Structure formats: C-alpha cells, structure tokens
Structure 1
Amino acid sequence: MKHTKVMRYQIIKPINDTWETLGHVLREIQRETRAALNKTIQLAWEWQGFSAEYKQRYEEYPKTKDHLGYSALHGYAYNRLKDEFYRMNTANLSQTVKRAADKWKSDLKDVLRGDKSIASFKKDCPIDIVSQALRIRKDGSDYIMTLSLVSIKYRKELERKQSFFDVLISANDKTQRDILDRLIAGEYKLGASQLLYHKKKWFVNVNYQFEKEETAFDQDNIMGVDLGIVYPVYMAFNNSLNRYKIEGGEIERFRAQVERRKKQLLQQAKYCGDGRRGHGTKTRIQPIEVVSDKVANFRDTVNHRYSRYVVDMAIKHRCGTIQMEDLSGIAAEDTFLKRWSYYDLQQKIEYKAKEAGIQVVYIKPDYTSQRCSKCGHIERDNRTEQATFECKSCGFKTNADFNAARNIATKDIEKIIAETLK
C-alpha cells in the first residue's frame, strides 16, 4: 500500500547566490502564489454563477469543455493566469492553480449551503514546488536541494544564468537524514512539495511516498494507555502481562530548568538597561516569550517522540485498538494537564495510530485507578498511595499505573464498571 508523508527541512543558506537575491525571489513568488490562488477561486466562483444561470434557463448544466475550452476548471484558469503571473516556474504555477481549484471543489457544497465561506488565501501561504522542480543530492555530510523557482523570463530580469537555486538544508536528526538518503537512492518517491515562511525562516515541506506492507491487526487485541505524572505514559495489554512505560524525568528536568530561567529573566527585567527599557513592556518580556517558545517546541518534539513509541509498541503486539482516557472534559487549567500537554500527546497518538490502521477508542477514566484489574473489585482504598495498587478484596498488589493501564485496555470497560457499581 502506498503511504504519503511530509517532512520539514529548514533552508540554512543559498549556495549559488546570496540571501538577498533568494529572499527577494521567494517574497515575489509568494506574493504571486497568493494572488494566483485567490484569482483561481474568483474564476471558479464566476463559473459557478454562470452554471447556475445556465441551468435555470436550459434545465441542464453547461459542459466545461464547450464553454471554457478545457475539460477541467484548473486548465482554463491556468491559461488565463499564466501571462499575469510570469515570474513563477510554469509547472509550479500549474500546481498552485490546481490546488485552488481542488479547494474550491471540496468546499463547494458547504459554500452553497452557507456552512463555509469562500476560500481566501493569506499572504503567508506556502509556495508550491512540483516534484520535477526539486532535486536532492548529498555533498559529503551536507544535503543540497535544487529548487527550480523562476520562469525563463523572470530569470533574464534577474540577470541570472540559471532558473534554479541550490540551497543547504538542515537535517539534524536520524529520521530526517534517512528520508533524504532514501529519496536520493530512489527508495522513496518525491511528491509535490511546498516552501513556507515561518518565524523569519524559510522551510521546505518535502512530500514523499513509499510502499508499506500492511500489518494484520486484531481489533480485540487492545493496548491501554494510562497518562500520569510519575510516568507520562504507561502501556498495558488486555491479552498479555507485557508492559511499557516512559519515565517522566526528562519532562520534569526541562520544566524545572525553564522555571528557573523564567525567574531569572523576570528579576533581570526589573534592572534592564536602556535597550530593553525604552520600548515598554513588550520589549522587557521578549526574552521570556523566547523561553516560552522553547517550551512549546520542546513539548511538541517530545510528544511526537512519545506518540511514535506508543504506536510502535501497538504495532509490535498487533493491537488493532488503542484505548485511552477521554480528557476532553478536563479543563486545561486542571493541575493534571497543567504539568504537560497530555491532550496534545493524545492527538498525536491518534493521528499516528490511524495512519498505521489502528483504531483509537476513548473511555471514561472514572474508577480505572480504583478497580482491580485482576478480580474487578472497585474500592477507593485499593489505591491509598500514588505509586502502588493493592486490592482489598483479593490482595493483588502491583504498580498503580500498570493496574490502571490494564483496566483501560479491557474491552467494554465502561459497561463492566457500570455493572460492578450496580
């Protein structure tokens, strides 16, 4: 089965030109991309209006080929716009127009019902790069991307010999490097990708495809995932005593470092120099906001890593179902969620699980920490301390998080608990 994924890479610097030239070109093309997207939507709206009037008059819809000269709307739109947006590589422009036409087609029913507004693209919209306009090569330990960005006409205006730009990209972790190596080797196929500008940096979202052998999963084979403080993630199964856990020390150490750094910056803000004092509160708290961004980035990275581990363990044990506690009713201010974004972690687990063909089921967390996973007895005193569970009925004693994860992994656990409480 064919899988499609995207990996983001930061552009470090251009190799065959200056940042001044490349930056100017990217800004111009991004401006043209936005305008082309919005004009395509406008042409689509005009065609929709004509079609509605035609249907009312002749009791049938007009054929695109007969009236526009093209079998598809994006072909007509491209022909109308290609001379106006001459700076863009023509293949990239065609992809941009098709993106807008596809967006119009997918939104049309909702727009006509009044459930959705007509699409409008903002100035920071990504730039389309077709697979033929992007090449990757390795130079020693460095990875170089060749981006065909401009038309022949615009290249001559820029007084450049080539229409492409060679750029050095950042590939810091093993996963990023493996993907690039497989693309270079032909194991993965390059798809239509995008350039985007984020926080004053340019990135390439590389779209790649690969064939993946499907794994046979049993939906009655369930992994239960318990989220907590001592162990951010504890995993157990309904048909085995296997267990996996993620230690919480990494998160706590980073959080403690951040809190210390925030306090230091708050103290420094009282005695800051003229450079930070002259522009008001915003300038004073800017270093603190930088620290907050680091926290958000760290949390996002860690949750991606943790969610990958959870889904990998489910695949290893052929689990067709992952069950987790439903945290949607817990306020973000709740102390349980305040220490770490468990909800964000759950969303990442769900996304990766569905990608692998595993269903995700959310269950009510009530009594899962008080129920004995061995005999089913529910009692508050079964868990008198954070780390240990000891059943007052059968004497079963184990790690409290493991016991909760085993309960969460039980099929129809909500019904079982409801019957027990009766």
Structure 2
Amino acid sequence: MKNRVVITGLGVVAPNGVGLKNFREAIKKGTSGIAFHQQLKDLNFSCCIGGIPSISEEKKRNYLTELQLRGFNSSGILYGCIAGIDAWKDAGFSVDENSPLDYHSGIVFGTGTSGIEKFKEAIYKLDNKQVKRLGSTVVVQTMASGVSAYLGGILGFGNQVTTNSSACTTGTEALLLGFERIKTGKAKRMLVGSCSDDGPYIWGGFDAMRVMTYKHNESPEKGSRPMSKTASGFVPGSGAGALILESLESALERKATIYAEVLGGNINSGGQRNGGTMTAPNAEAVQKCIVDALADAQIYPHEIDAINGHLTATSKDSLEIENWTKALQRSGHNFPFINSLKSMVGHCLAAAGSIENVATVLQLKEQFLFPNLNCEDLHPAIQNLISLDKIPTEKMNMKLNIIAKASFGFGDVNGCILFKKFDS
C-alpha cells in the first residue's frame, strides 16, 4: 500500500515577499517585486529590471551563524536556507544544532548555478600560480549540492540529502522526487524546494540570448507580461521556495496543520525532438507529461479547477495554453482558470517551480486565485483557445479542490503536479 502524502510546512523567499506572511499578502494584493537595478544599466544590460528578494544583514543572522557567514557570498544558498528553515518551523518542528540525527527526514533541494558570485570573487585577479589561494569557503558555496549540505547540517537530517538540477523544472522535479520517497515508505518527511542566485553573472547569459525584455526599464512593474500580446521577453527573478512533505499517517499522528495533499504527477523529457530544442518544448512530450500526471494522480481532466502555469511572458505562452487544451481536451469556457506568478516576481529560474508551488498550495488552503498582472491585452492566439474570464486579473475567492502546477525547462524537460484540498 502506498502512503498518502501531504504538505505540512511552507517557506518562501520571493522578490515580492520574504516569509510566508509577506508573500501571502503580496500575491493576494497582486504586488509586484520587480524593480530597476542600476548595476545592470551600468553593465550595459538590455534588460535592467529584475526581481531580487530583500534580505537584511540582521535577518541573515537569524538563520546562519557568524562562522557560516564568514566569507559567505552565495545568495542562492542564503535564500534556500531561509526558506527551508522557515518551512521546517512552519511544520511545527524546532531547529536545534544538538538535536539527535533524524533518519526519518530528508532533503531534495535543487538549484541551477550555485555560488557564481562567490567563485567570481575567489578567482578575481588570480593566475594559475595562485590558484591555491581560492580560499577555504569556496567549495561549499560553489558545489552543486551546497544548499542541501547547509540545510542537512542545520537540521540534522539522516535520510537522503541531495540536490537536483533541471533548469526551470528544478523545483517541481524536487517536489516529485520527495513525494515518491514518502509514497514508497523510504522517508516520513522530505524538505523539498529549490533556489536561484541573482545578479549579472547569472542573468548575463540570458541577456545575451535576447530572451529578456528590454522595453520596460522605465516601468519595471509592467515588464513581466505572461499571456499578453505585448509580452517582449521574461524578467529575471531569484529566491527560493520550500515545502515539507509528510506521510499522512505521520502528520495525523502529531496533529500537524495540513495545507494540501499531493495526489501525484509526472516528469519527462521531449528529447529535443519533434520541434523540441535546448530552449523550446516538444509539444507532444508536454502533453504526454500532463496526461501521465493525471493518470498517476488518478483524476480526470474535468476535475481540475485551476492551473498555475509556467507562462514566462515569451512567445511560447500560447503554445503552453494550446498544450493544456489538447492534453485536457478542454477549451473555451470549459477550460480551467489559469494564472502565472511570474507576472509579479519574474522568472526565478531554478527557484521558479518551488516558489510557484508554494503559491499554488496557499491558493488551495485559503480558497483564492491570485491575479495575473499585465495581461489586459491578451494574446490573440490565447483568446482563440480559452475564454477571457478564465484568466483572473483580480484576486478571486472561490471553491477550489484540485490545482495543477507545471514547469517546463531548458533542455526540453517537463514536470507536472496535481495538488488537492485536504480532506480526510
């Protein structure tokens, strides 16, 4: 018999809200976290706007010790530690460096490029003869598994502790990997999530690819425009999201607050075939990912009330909507409600899936849909597929039972999860 898996804790570090309370308030109000950054303009970036969480020095010291902060310069790991620790506390647990090793709890916490600012700092002005002067704090901040290593030590977890990396699908993939581990009885609890660094050394490559908008440097909050006909590229963002997954048996035993249930999902790849490339999705594989996710969750397409889409404000938004209509065989007025958090926070890259999953779970728990910003001029191709009233532009209070969340990443990789309002 497979274990039912529920969500008992949430943590988030987002451009429009650090901490669950601030983030919840921001997404309900439709508050944007996208701002102009002079540093990007000084470096001659085309896109000079982005979403960067605001973390004070005082706040850092609430999560990391002075020793851990010595020589510390990895924003992604910092965001991940804050979100992960907050999620663990939100689930009703304490953080104690002298706690016994917990073999029942583990971590899958993903990232993209880790500690690039730290590595830049370390190698600046070094030549090959000085390479041994990189410093003793470089390895843990630049190794791919740095964030899970930090969290594993802080929390004392003895189950699987690892990091995954699948571009923009990373956070959704991490959740599904943790879900499988609990469902099959290999763990009672898994801290899952993902994080992403920010700054010119992360965003410069995307600026060079010309996939980021350059039209809204004077109006940052208007820049991220998912599903809009005037969308001109994504806005970069950063941060972290974290969720505590737990077997239903364990959650009930300790009388934990349950946010939602994870019904199932699927991960696949389009193999960069049939129109799929390093940066574009194979539509057939995307549709199969959605169909197979529903089969794994044992639900029918008509049971989905809403979709939290990937929807990056690029030319692929209409293709994503088309893939949903084909996979669900639902269109027009029969299509589920759909929204995109990226209109408020930008595209948080490897952190996108986890931050958006936190938002999805909050919507289920509190029975609302957050608004889409900047899509008052809906793309004509999308108008031909679904009804305009399925795209909320203001917060909607409504009865929600099942929400689908999908993420699609560079390398033609896909992930889809089905969340359900918890009932015993």
The bucket for the TM-score relative to the shorter chain is: under 0.3
Larger relative contact order, structure 1 or 2 (CA cutoff 8 Å, min sep 6) = 2
Which structure: larger Rg? 1
When you count helix as a share of all residues, which structure comes out higher? 1
